[in-house]
Amino acid sequence: MAESMRFSELIQSERPTLVDFYADWCGPCKAMNPVVQELTRQIDGKAKVIKVNIDKNRDAVNHFGVRGVPTFMLFKNGEIVWQHIGGTSLNNLKDAIELHA
């Protein structure tokens, strides 16, 4: 319960929050790790980036209807403003953040 409350607080921000729903057993998720790390470095505070393990956070997965991993959701003021299922490019993630920053 405390974890889901914390998650809710994180996505309520006016600053965009990119959520990377992933699983430890997921190959494409592992391939996206360096991309997400580079994104975090490049956006320099324009957005928060958090990783959510789907096997440990079933409430969030069910609430947001995550059906595949990796799934990226960009939240602003608690609302989903962009989402992408599957691997993607650094530029695609940056463009989504820039659009909503």
| Residues identified as active-site | 26, 29
Classify 26 as helix, strand or coil: coil
Structure tokens at 84: 């992408």
Contact 17, 11 (CB under 8 A): yes
66: three-class secondary structure by DSSP = coil
CA–CA separation, 67 vs 86, rounded Å?
11
Cα–Cα distance measured from residue 36 to residue 41, given in angstroms and rounded to the nearest whole number: 9
